[in-house]
Structure 1
């Protein structure tokens, strides 16, 4: 009798194991439609996205091709398999089903390998039977003379006001905020400015597969506010004139590997739309099912699905800014994924009452493979933004807010110097930080200095000494004068370009009236091109 009970117990245990729902990523072998899409790139990317590739000399490749639809359909009709997400970059589907049902997918000749989220199960690939692959506990007219109010510290500590004073406020730069929700962004007065100026370009709720992104958890709205919020005389975000896509990938009711896959979907969408910067104030290390938890050894930038996706996102030309995590006082006190990714600019939290001090909760590096993380730090304790009730608050705590505060300032910098690549911008941000020569495991290189970066890049614009016509003064406020030093030149064509290469003024100036009114120009740096006698000369012009 006891033997019969034992056999029955073992039978039901095995049956239960087989029936248990598992999460897994199924990777495909190829993309049969590759040539078709590469010959018609607008089928997969917008013109703005293609323009970014051209600007930074980034070629289209296999990763840009969508997942083969016939493969998706075949798995979709497989009994016991539920498809929850897909990634063209990693050529994979996120599926749920029993271990047995998922393993059987290898019978399809187009399936290359399967990686289970449950680390007690072996990931498998063709020709192999047991090969292991390897938190949220966490337009033209712009304003440049802002009253930052309560938000002054978080901008001034990075010298971000220097960018604003030179009229770089994020105009023309697109930022995707990937988070847990954006309720009331469509109604709060603090977001009225970006609504009225049509700066919200769209968004999507990947969790509920719904186009209504003004829903979910208020965390995302508060994150957005640190970049885009505006309350006159009380608060200004770090990039108040940028444009935004708002994506929901975080399900606040659960913590599962699916959220990683949804994030990758959102990042792929951002790339296809031509977004410049992605801010993510999310991180993953532990899940509701402890079998899915990551270990410190997994924080190597190559193991977590989301981290691998983030690395590909960077290779497409975007800048990725991510919170380092709030685990600094926990037993697990390391950065979380995707902040462990090599190319992600991961941000720790500090506070300042005259002296910069690290916030104790800010997660530590290094990564498992010994790289410095976080990369840099920003205000993440006593930060300022808009709370869930729509009020300005100076009680924001978390690297969740340090990340977007920095992302906004980076948007302003990239607006000023769009010819710089994402790698060049992120490196300059690191090198400008106050601990660059003595980084720490909790602050990284420290707090960046955007005035330093701005001055360095301005100096890179070549100065050309003009022989026949001299414009003065430079810097200039309202009137630009011209000295004609030769009788062979009696007039000159004067063209002014902004640093985006857009012409903002063109007219002839002569010896009879050698003055040009530029009072209408906003403060900033311009390129002044002078043409005469079939010659063209260009100099840097600074408008005060």
Structure 2
């Protein structure tokens, strides 16, 4: 009996030892720099496409070290030390490695080019499979409603929009189409969960016939067929609101734009590694020369609750995917992202990367332009107004498999409507920057004089946005070139020092973290030069973060203040 027990213990020990030896250990390795790179920022054509370089030239964005690929010298040293490199990001300047023993990782951590190293087991250990990704849970796809059948919707524009006329006319994009601004020459990168049957569906015949689908990439399963019938249809529907062309049923907002279809999302699970895949997709989009990214994705909760984001993470600087989105914007890409579908849930707030300060975040309204109850709300954790704008996201007309259309509800569909419209606007005004487009879109919107955290600046009018750009309002000297506030933190009073370039009238609002205006000065006349204005009697307001919003009727400037 004793021998049996000893043998059992030895067997267990050997089995455990074998398991330990076979187990993989993952680490996230942040690199110090990009020394010994075989590339140089003086020769960007070796690692960026011509269109990517041209985007930077037009917007006067210099090529810098973040554009360089991760140093191959460092990669080789990691491999020589016994690590398998399974992920790398040039923007984050990090790699994720896999080793078979912790001692190997310990030796690697001592290398001089390692800035920081931490366990990344949590990125790969979980393998649960849900029936649907949490972000898509509140999205509803319905069979075509009676209002769609048997009715002809006509427009004076160049297309027969069918039932999709409402979502086009709401933002006046049909009028830009009538002027032949349909996205031609603009490239949109769609980052999503899959494009089931896009290669055969009638809705995309026009894209295929004219070579407007430039290519596909799968960053979750490299080499995978993103059109496979077993993959998600989410990206298919998203693409249809931009590039779909079914006369009499559905016309997308950018039917002549070109598209890269990029998969960063595994629709049947939710794990934080997908944020890293998103960054890879954005890096590729940048290098391929994409002008606009539409991302109808968002991150807050995961299959492993330990990975969940908190609301405080929605500050524009914390989530990996938000850092990547803002980096894409810094490269001159217009990043358009859905706000999320949590407006009626306990979370209620926007999700990453919609919290990015350089991201055009899109919420949803219904057919009549009223706030859609499910659309995620702002503000960001640091008090910025979100979403930026809204479009039809309830009963949005989308293409469905195998053919025909349906009504889709979710900010996943309002976001690409705006992204496609922005492509038409940029075609009409190609010398402007991504941030100037965002400003014009905001300024044209229905709530531009008083944005809130439900609809943001409101529903854009792309004819008005085009006029603002055409008339060079965005390029003109700003009404005031300096705005100072003090004290900060404040107690009973906030003083503003406004230096104006010419006489203007300002509206000043103090907004609390719930998006409510708690104090205001409307119609304040400001003379040319330096002016002093004050908000008084603020003693009774509770401590916290506030946003001071100053508008001259065209542009809105915000500053964070604390009590």
Q: Same fold (TM over 0.5)?
A: yes
Counterpart among 153, 170, 178 of residue 157 in structure 1:
170
Query: Deviation digits for residues 406-438 of structure 1, max 9, x if unmatched?
Result: 100000000000011101001111111111222
User: Is the partner of 1:39 in helix, strand or coil?
Assistant: coil
> Greater shift after overlay, 451-460 or 84-93?
451-460
TM superposition shift of 1:214:
1.7
Shift, 1:78, TM fit:
4.9
Cα distance in 2 for partners of 1:245, 1:28 equals 30
1:4 corresponding residue in structure 2: none
Tell me how large the CA RMSD over aligned residues is.
3.2
Q: Determine if contact 1:171/1:243 at 8 Å carries over to the other structure.
A: yes
Specify which of 51, 58, 63 is matched with residue 60 of structure 1: 63
Contact 2:39 2:46 in 1 (8 A): no
**Alignment partner of 1:403 is 2:415:** yes
Q: Which residue of 2 aligns with 1:195?
A: 208
Q: CA deviation at 1:25?
A: 3.1
- Give yes or no for contact 1:118–1:291 (8 Å, CA) kept in 2: no
* TM-score, normalised with respect to structure 1: 0.74
The answer to whether the 8 A contact 1:277-1:319 is kept is yes
2:161 equivalent to 1:167? no
Equivalent pairs counted in the alignment come to 436
> Per-residue deviation at 1:117?
6.2
Contact 1:350–1:378 under 8 Å retained in 2: yes
**Structure 1 residue aligned with 2:424:** 412
Conservation of the 8 A alpha-carbon contact between 1:432 and 1:452? yes
Unaligned runs of at least 5 residues, structure 2 = 1-15, 124-132, 137-155, 474-563
Q: Is the CA contact (8 Å cut-off) linking 2:37 and 2:71 kept in structure 1?
A: no
Q: 2:135 aligns with which of 109, 131, 137?
A: 137
Does structure 1 conserve the Cα–Cα contact (< 8 Å) formed by 2:157 and 2:175?
no
Q: Which of 45, 49, 60 does residue 46 from structure 1 map onto?
A: 49
1-structure distance, mates of 2:120, 2:300: 12
| Aligned-residue offset at 1:104 | 5.5
**How far apart in 1 are the matches of 2:310 and 2:21?**
25
- Deviation, 1:74, is 3.3
Q: Deviations over 1:282-320 (max 9, x none)?
A: 111111111111111111111111111111110111100
Q: Find the counterpart in structure 2 of residue 501 from structure 1.
A: none
Larger radius of gyration between Structure 1 and Structure 2? 1
1:230 Cα deviation (Å)?
A: 0.7
Q: Which residue of 2 aligns with 1:112?
A: 115
What is the alpha-carbon distance in structure 2 between the residues aligned to residue 102 and residue 217 of structure 1?
37
Aligned equivalents of 1:301, 1:104: Cα separation in 2: 35
Q: In structure 2, what is the equivalent of residue 27 of structure 1? A: 30
Instruction: Indicate conservation of the 8 Å contact 1:85/1:258, yes or no.
Output: no
SS of residue paired to 2:370: strand
What's the counterpart of residue 78 of structure 2? 75
Q: Which residue of 2 aligns with 1:502?
A: none
Question: How far apart in 1 are the matches of 2:308 and 2:20?
Answer: 19
Instruction: Please state how far the C-alpha of 1:259 moved relative to its aligned partner.
Output: 0.9
Q: Secondary structure at the match of 1:284?
A: coil
TM-score of the superposed pair, with normalisation by structure 2:
0.72
The reply to whether residue 240 of structure 1 matches residue 255 of structure 2 is yes
**Is structure 2 residue 298 aligned with structure 1 residue 283?**
yes
The 1-side partners of 2:180 and 2:438 are apart by: 21
Residue 298 of structure 1 corresponds to 313
**Structure 1 residue 448, shift from structure 2 partner:** 0.7
Distance 2:342 2:22 in 1: 35
> Given the alignment, which residue of 337, 358, 365 partners 2:371?
358
| CA deviation after TM superposition for structure 1 residue 280, in Å | 0.3
1:94 aligned to which of 93, 96, 109: 96
Cα distance between partner residues in 1 of 2:321 and 2:445: 27
The question of whether the paired residues in 2 share the 8 Å contact of 1:255 and 1:287 is answered with: yes
